[in-house]
C-alpha cells in the first residue's frame, strides 16, 4: 500500500493514532475505539492486540477511509514459527529498529523487550506485566491490599500500606525492566547495543533506571507500522 495517512495501534488499555500528514507527526491516545476514529481519512494502517476493540474501531471508521489491518509479518523478518505467536505490536517494534543489534522496550500494560540482530532479524524477547497490571493482580490475589494504578512512586520505603505498595510495585517494574534489558544485551553479545524505549511509562522508567544510553521514541511502534505497510 502507499504511505498511510494514519497509523493506529489498538492496544489493551488505549488506542494510539498518528497522523503522518505534514512535517510533525504526533501521537494521540484515546480510551475508546469510537473516539479514535474522529477525523480519520485516506489509507489507514492498523495493528491490534485486542480483536474486540479492533472490531469496534472498524465499525466506527468514516466511510471514506480505507483501513488496512496488518496481520502477516513481512518475509525475512524472522523465523515464521517465532513470528506466528508474536503480537502485532511486538512485530512493529522490531520492524522499527531495522538493523541491529538493537533492543526495543515498550512500557505499556505489558512491558515487552524485543531483540533484533545485526541483519535486522527478530529474535524474540521478554513479556512482563507493567506496573498497573502487576498492581491489579496483587489486589486480586490478596484480601486486604488496595488496588493501585501502578503510577510512578518515590523509590523509598513506605511507612503506611499504600505508600509501601506504591513504592514496591514501581520499584519492581523499574528493576525488573532493567534486568530484562541487561539479559537482552547479554543475549545479543554486547553492551554496545542500541536500546529504544516507547510506551506510556517509558520516560518515568528511564528517570529511575540504572540503564544508560537509552533513546526515547514515542512513535517507535508507529514507525514500524509504516515499514510493515510498505512491505505489504
Over range 182-189, report the average pLDDT.
96
* pLDDT exceeds 80 at position 1: no
pLDDT beyond 90 at 53: yes
Q: How confident is the model at residue 13 (pLDDT cuts 50, 70, 90)?
A: confident
Q: Read off the pLDDT of residues 117-165 as tens digits, 9 standing for 90 and up.
A: 999 999 999 999 999 999 999 999 998 899 999 999 999 998 899 999 9
Contact criterion met (CB below 8 Å) for 16 and 28:
yes
pLDDT of residue 141: 94
Say if residue 23's pLDDT is above 90: no
- Which residue numbers are catalytic? 89
Contact 87, 125 (CB under 8 A): no
The answer to whether 46 and 67 are in contact (CB under 8 A) is: yes
Q: Where are the domains of the chain?
A: 6-69, 99-131+162-231
Mean pLDDT, the chain, rounded, equals 94
Percent of the chain, pLDDT > 70?
100
Q: How far apart are CA 192 and CA 179, in angstroms?
A: 16
pLDDT at residue 8 in the model:
98
Mean pLDDT throughout 103-108? 97
Mean pLDDT of 56-79: 94
What is the CATH class of 99-131+162-231? alpha beta
pLDDT above 90 (res 105): yes
6-69 CATH pick, 2.60.120, 2.60.40, 3.40.50, 3.30.420: 3.30.420
Amino acid at each position: 500500500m502507499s504511505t498511510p495517512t494514519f497509523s493506529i495501534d489498538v492496544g489493551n488499555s488505549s488506542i494510539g493514532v498518528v497522523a503522518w500528514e505534514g512535517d510533525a507527526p504526533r501521537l494521540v491516545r484515546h480510551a475508546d475505539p469510537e473516539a479514535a476514529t474522529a477525523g480519520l481519512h485516506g489509507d489507514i494502517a492498523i495493528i491490534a492486540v485486542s480483536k474486540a476493540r479492533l472490531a469496534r474501531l472498524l465499525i466506527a471508521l468514516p466511510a471514506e477511509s480505507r483501513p488496512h489491518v496488518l496481520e502477516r509479518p513481512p518475509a525475512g523478518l524472522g523465523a515464521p514459527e517465532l513470528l506466528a505467536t508474536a503480537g502485532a505490536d511486538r512485530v512493529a517494534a522490531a520492524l522499527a529498529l531495522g538493523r541491529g543489534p538493537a533492543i526495543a522496550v515498550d512500557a505499556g500494560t505489558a512491558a515487552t523487550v524485543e531483540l533484533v540482530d545485526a541483519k535486522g532479524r527478530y529474535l524474540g524477547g521478554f513479556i512482563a506485566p507493567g506496573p498497573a497490571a502487576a498492581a491489579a493482580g496483587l489486589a486480586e490475589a490478596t484480601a486486604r491490599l488496595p488496588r493501585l494504578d501502578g503510577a510512578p512512586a518515590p523509590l523509598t520505603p513506605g511507612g503506611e500500606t499504600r505508600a509501601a505498595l506504591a513504592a514496591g510495585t514501581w520499584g519492581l517494574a523499574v528493576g525488573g525492566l532493567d534486568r530484562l534489558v541487561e539479559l537482552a544485551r547479554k543475549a545479543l553479545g554486547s553492551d554496545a547495543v542500541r536500546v529504544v524505549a516507547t510506551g506510556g511509562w517509558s520516560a518515568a522508567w528511564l528517570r529511575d533506571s540504572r540503564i544508560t544510553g537509552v533513546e526515547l521514541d514515542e512513535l517507535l511502534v508507529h514507525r514500524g507500522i509504516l515499514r510493515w505497510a510498505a512491505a505489504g
